């Protein structure tokens, strides 16, 4: 598919902000799974921008505002040819996963983070779930388990919610389901990383129809090559998915963050629109 995405984030401050320093991770990458044809970030008030790629391969738009303002609007627009990847067939053995070369190479995607730590019960269940399964089937089994145990329910968690907290609550959003899946995949010995981006909500999108889309999260598991799986929807990451950023957890891929001087409290509004254009 060819998808056009428009993502608007707005801040309104109670009092005037004198300056702010910001980073946006909103531009889709070009990779084997997709080709980004056009991508840009616009701000209101307007300001100069700098772009760079972070350690994880995500394109970052950095911008500073040095004029007094009470509102900030950040609009990211992009056009992307999507496709996804096939599940790898030349998959390493469990013995290879346990070996030092693989564990050293993927240490960052095997090491638990604050958001992706599995407690003893979760780790034991992960290992029990994959017993006797080959790695691809093991990855699917863990994702299926997480989807069964953690129900999708908006408004029950926040950006700081950990995998263990979401597991205990048995509910959360795609970010939480992804964190739980990562915790259990890593506990089972499978390198896995967090992916953020967008999902077209309709299985058969119509050309030219603009719909309310979603910022979304899913996992990529290393099975001899990276393979994307969406545990929230129990589907491979394919033509409806647009990749923006990858990392260890949400903290590495936060869409927009920054610091500001003055301003008091703030209110945030986010809208995402997705259109199939090809």
**For helices 174-187 and 135-149, angle between their N-to-C axes, nearest 10 degrees:** 140
For residue 147, what are the contacts with CB-CB under 8 A and spacing of at least 6?
Answer: 177, 231, 232, 234
DSSP 234: T
For residue 148, what are the contacts with CB-CB under 8 A and spacing of at least 6?
Answer: none
CA distance 42 to 16: 21
- As annotated, the residues of the chain forming the CATH 2.60.40.2250 domain(s) are 2-83+254-276
| pLDDT > 90: percent of the chain | 90
CA distance 48 to 69: 16
CA distance 26 to 7: 8
H helices of the chain, in order, are 94-98, 100-105, 107-110, 120-130, 135-149, 163-169, 174-187
Q: What number does CATH give the domain 2-83+254-276?
A: 2.60.40.2250
User: How much is the average pLDDT of 7-29?
Assistant: 94
User: How much is the average pLDDT of 51-80?
Assistant: 96
pTM for the predicted model, two decimal places: 0.95
pLDDT, tens digit, 9 for 90 and up, residues 235-275: 999 999 999 999 999 999 999 999 988 877 777 889 999 99
Residue with tokens 């990749």: 243
- As annotated, the residues of the chain forming the CATH 3.10.620.30 domain(s) are 94-201+214-252
Residue 226's pLDDT is 96
Query: Any idea which fold 94-201+214-252 has?
Result: C8orf32 fold (3.10.620)
Backbone φ, ψ for residue 187 (5° rounding): -65, -30
């Amino acid at each position: 598919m060819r998808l056009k995405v428009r993502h608007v984030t707005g801040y309104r401050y109670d009092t005037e902000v004198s300056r702010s320093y910001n980073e946006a991770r909103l531009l889709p990458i070009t990779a084997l799974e997709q080709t980004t044809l056009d991508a840009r970030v616009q701000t209101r008030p307007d300001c100069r921008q700098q772009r760079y790629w972070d350690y994880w391969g995500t394109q970052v738009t950095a911008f500073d505002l040095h004029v007094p303002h009470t509102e900030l609007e950040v609009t990211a627009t992009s056009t992307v040819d999507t496709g996804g990847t096939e599940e790898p067939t030349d998959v390493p053995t469990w013995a290879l996963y346990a070996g030092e070369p693989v564990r050293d190479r993927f240490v960052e995607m095997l090491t638990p983070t604050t958001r992706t730590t599995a407690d003893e019960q979760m780790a034991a269940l992960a290992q029990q779930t994959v017993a006797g399964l080959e790695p691809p089937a093991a990855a699917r089994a863990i994702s299926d388990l997480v989807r069964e145990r953690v129900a999708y329910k908006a408004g029950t968690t926040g950006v700081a919610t950990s995998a263990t907290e979401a597991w205990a609550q048995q509910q959360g959003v795609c970010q939480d389901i992804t964190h739980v899946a990562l915790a259990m995949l890593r506990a089972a010995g499978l390198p896995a990383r967090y992916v953020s981006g967008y999902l077209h909500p309709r299985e058969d999108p119509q050309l030219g129809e603009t719909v309310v889309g979603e910022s979304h999260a899913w996992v990529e598991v290393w099975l001899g090559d990276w393979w994307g799986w969406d545990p929230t929807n129990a589907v491979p990451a394919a033509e409806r998915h647009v990749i923006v950023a990858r990392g260890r957890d949400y903290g590495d891929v936060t869409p927009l963050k920054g610091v500001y001087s003055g301003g008091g409290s703030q209110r945030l509004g986010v809208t995402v629109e997705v259109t199939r254009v090809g």
